[in-house]
Structure 1
Amino acid sequence: MNHIEKSFAKTRVLNDISMHVEEGEFVALLGPSGSGKSTLFNLIGGMTSPDEGTILLNDNIIHGQKGLIGYMPQQPSLFPWRTVIENVVLVQELSGKPNYEEAKEWLKKVGLQDFQNAYPMELSGGMKQRVAFIRALLSKQNLLCLDEPFSALDEFTRIEMQKWLLSVWEDNRKSILFVTHSIEEALFLADRIYILTKRPATIKEEIIVPFARPREESLLNANEFFQLKQKLFNLLRDEIKVGE
């Protein structure tokens, strides 16, 4: 994204946003509520176009083009009348080529092989999120945009899902852009973090996360982790104070 500007009516939401995601990289976005993080996803996904600037995917401008990224929203958004496996192949089905064998393999990898014929109402919150993520993976897009996918989960389930996401990502290394309100989550998952200001959003700071991979849960208690967490907390606290 190069020098992106976006307004709705008289409200400017994004102001000169420039950022990038490398192939196979995990990048997180942190910012105050209402800072335009979801608007960025809508622009990348082709739901709307920038007023100024360019958005490129593999060096091609993609303004207003849909179907070029994988997307996972805050809620799993599973169709209740479809079984787990039918939900998993939905994106492939829309393109006319559902691959049930591949879907079964992925469900086995994530421990849901016994639930492939179950309906969403029979699943826990964490299980629903796994189904939604596998559906995004099977879209075959190289860039996945994840919009606070674990925000509705309890703390213990959330940590387990973070570890699960990293294990799956390590195996296939899709490029990921991950929106979160959790500083700890961003530090645990990402290679780099962009800090957004209050609206109209600009990039306040880019943080390179120094922790080696694979990440272990013990990292959450490390002194280096706490110090960087405090730095990010102060950056975001300043933005919230400015916006009050």
Structure 2
Amino acid sequence: MLLTIHELNKTFGNLQVLKDINLQVDEGEFVAILGPSGSGKSTLFQLIGGNLLADHGTISLNGEVINGKKGFISYMPQQPSLFPWRTVLENVVLAAEINGKPNYKEAKRWLEKVGLDEFENSYPIELSGGMKQRVSFIRALLSKQSILCLDEPFSALDEFTRLKMQKWLLSVWEENRKSVLFITHSIEEALFLADRIYILSKRPARVKAEIKVPFARPRNESLLESNEFFTMKQKIFQTIKEEIEV
């Protein structure tokens, strides 16, 4: 297993947020995490990234325990978090720049692949929301870590832009096949993108269910209209609804 989380617990004061979390991500796998608001999904990412320390349990990457250690994952937050005074190209190479010498040739190649090559000298204020997200994603991709953690990256986008970005993400991921751990509130998004889905309970969060997504790859938007997709969506909806109503 690439990433293994075992019996992870986290408490803030008297508030327990995570309780005995167990999950894993294989090499080249796309895994989604679903759960009610406030269930600790983003806290889990903070623990994986080393920004927080767990009270109990281990986080292992390639067999090495990385509790409290930074620099082992690539991370894309909910907001693009681009520096307004840096050009698109300068923003894209930022993570690589921090970790060593940036590869501008590779950065330009990726900007061309995602249709942003003509904007490499533009500034974030000149970009649409979807374009900013693409820049943020390529920046995370170029940091060269073995796993990419995406924290609701498309939540602020309108429905049509969001679907466009989901399709774009799948096309890039199919080519790159970097391991992905993806937080989302959208059942549809999780089913469309992921190989497996972990469903978290309400706080204190535990893994309530693990679902293997049965749909073949590559995927396109016609899948969203299939009976199989609707059935899976309803099944997951009922699982989360039960948790909210308890």
Q: TM-score of the superposition, structure 2-length normalised?
A: 0.98
Code of the aligned partner of 2:165 = M
Code of the aligned partner of 1:104 = K
Measure the CA separation in 2 of the matches of 1:97 and 1:112: 22
Measure the CA separation in 1 of the matches of 2:232 and 2:95: 38
Code of the aligned partner of 2:55 = D
The reply to whether residue 115 of structure 1 matches residue 119 of structure 2 is: yes
Measure the CA separation in 1 of the matches of 2:154 and 2:162: 6
Gaps of at least 5 residues in structure 1 are none
**Residue in 1 that maps onto 2:199:** 195
- Give 1:95 shift: 1.7
**Residue in 2 that maps onto 1:50:** 54
Q: Which runs of 4+ in 1 moved over 3 A?
A: none
Code of the aligned partner of 2:23 = M
The 3-state SS of whatever aligns with 1:20 is strand
**Residue in 2 that maps onto 1:23:** 27
| Corresponding pairs, count | 242
- Of 209, 216, 227, which aligns to 2:220? 216
The 3-state SS of whatever aligns with 2:25 is coil
- Give 1:96 shift: 2.7
Measure the CA separation in 2 of the matches of 1:225 and 1:91: 37
Measure the CA separation in 1 of the matches of 2:227 and 2:207: 27
- Of 184, 193, 205, which aligns to 2:188? 184
The reply to whether residue 125 of structure 1 matches residue 129 of structure 2 is: yes
The 3-state SS of whatever aligns with 2:143 is coil
Measure the CA separation in 2 of the matches of 1:145 and 1:96: 21
Q: Give 1:100-111 correspondences, 5 Å limit.
A: 100-111=104-115
- Of 38, 42, 45, which aligns to 2:42? 38
- Give 1:189 shift: 0.2
Measure the CA separation in 2 of the matches of 1:182 and 1:96: 36
- Of 223, 231, 237, which aligns to 1:233? 237
- Of 59, 79, 83, which aligns to 2:83? 79
**Residue in 1 that maps onto 2:18:** 14
Q: TM-score of the superposition, structure 1-length normalised?
A: 0.98
Measure the CA separation in 1 of the matches of 2:70 and 2:100: 16
The reply to whether residue 150 of structure 1 matches residue 177 of structure 2 is: no
Q: Give 1:162-173 correspondences, 5 Å limit.
A: 162-173=166-177
Measure the CA separation in 2 of the matches of 1:96 and 1:234: 47
Measure the CA separation in 1 of the matches of 2:119 and 2:6: 43
The 3-state SS of whatever aligns with 1:55 is strand
- 1:8-32 deviation line (CA, Å, top 9, x unaligned): 0110000110000000000000000
Measure the CA separation in 2 of the matches of 1:213 and 1:186: 14
The 3-state SS of whatever aligns with 1:13 is strand
Measure the CA separation in 1 of the matches of 2:95 and 2:23: 28
Percent identical: 72
- Give 1:39 shift: 0.6
Code of the aligned partner of 2:77 = P
Measure the CA separation in 2 of the matches of 1:66 and 1:15: 22
The 3-state SS of whatever aligns with 1:18 is strand
Gaps of at least 5 residues in structure 2 are none
- Give 1:85 shift: 0.2
- 1:93-137 deviation line (CA, Å, top 9, x unaligned): 112311111110000000000000000000000000000000000
